[in-house]
Amino acid sequence: MGSDEIRSQGFSLKELFRDVTYEIDYYQRDYTWGEDEVRTLLRDLCGSFRHWSANPSYLRRPHTAPQYFLGPFVYYEPFKNRRYLVDGQQRFVTLHLLFLQLRLAAQERADTRAVDRLNRVITTDGQHFSLGITDHEPVLRAVTESRKYETSVGDSLSRRNLWARSQQIESQLAEELDAENLTRFTEWLLDRVVLVGIRAAGPTTAIGCSRR
């Protein structure tokens, strides 16, 4: 494998989802994260945020705060601004749900700056979700519109799980953070939380990377 076939780059969350659509290849598994995985992720993020917000110098100069490393993901990019995820789907979907819940909370507070920033990472054009998984769209639309998703017999396990985890995130955010901290948490999440993208030349190389 040539050294020029694989590249890595760190992305803050605001950079990761800006003007980019992520799609899942056919061999990817469903959204399977359960209550424990989501609880652990949110607890770690909120705990790190509380540690950050307790430091007055970081509050005055947020750009000097340490970055929070959320892990790697593997992808390839056959077209500009269109990436295929090979590894990292579970975290990406969970982050997307988190963004949606934070936007709903910001809308309730009439926090237009937070809503605008979250809009930029949730959709690419104001309509299409940055995470382009067609099966998930009915649930994501329901969350976006702040209405209950009515499950049906034909629903995939991914859809059922997606709705359950969305409700869990809403509840856990209320437990972990008070309303006054949600704006700062949103800023910290978008600016200081980082994933490292491992970019492969194509699907075959990407699969090899994900199995290492």
Q: What is the C-alpha separation between 69 and 67, in angstroms, rounded?
A: 6
- pLDDT averages per 10-residue partition of the chain, 212 residues: 69 93 77 96 96 88 90 92 92 96 96 96 87 90 93 88 97 92 95 95 61 46
- Distance CA(148)–CA(160), nearest Å, equals 12
Question: Is the distance from CB of 38 to CB of 46 less than 8 angstroms?
Answer: no
CB within 8 A of 103, min separation 6: which ones? 114, 115, 118, 119, 122, 144
Measured at the CA of 148, the angle between CA 182 and CA 98, to 5 degrees, comes to 30
CA R_g for the chain: 17
* Per-residue model confidence (pLDDT) at position 1: 41
Instruction: List b or e across 87-122, with b for residues whose CB sees 16 or more CB atoms inside 10 angstroms.
Output: bbbbbbbbbbbbbbbbbbbbeeeebeebbebbebbb
| Tokens representing residue 190 in the block | 């978008």
DSSP per position, 137-183:
HHHHHHHHTT------TT--HHHHHHHHHHHHHHHHHHHH--HHHHH
- Whole-number pLDDT of residue 205: 57
- Residue 55 phi/psi, 5° resolution? -100, 110
The CA angle 83-136-34, to the nearest 5 degrees, is 100
This prediction has a pTM of: 0.90
Q: At which residue do the structure tokens 């659509």 appear?
A: 21
pLDDT for position 117: 96
Residue keyed to tokens 């990292």: 88
**Beta carbons of 189 and 64 less than 8 angstroms apart:** no
Report the half-sphere exposure of 194 (CA within 13 A, side-chain side): 12
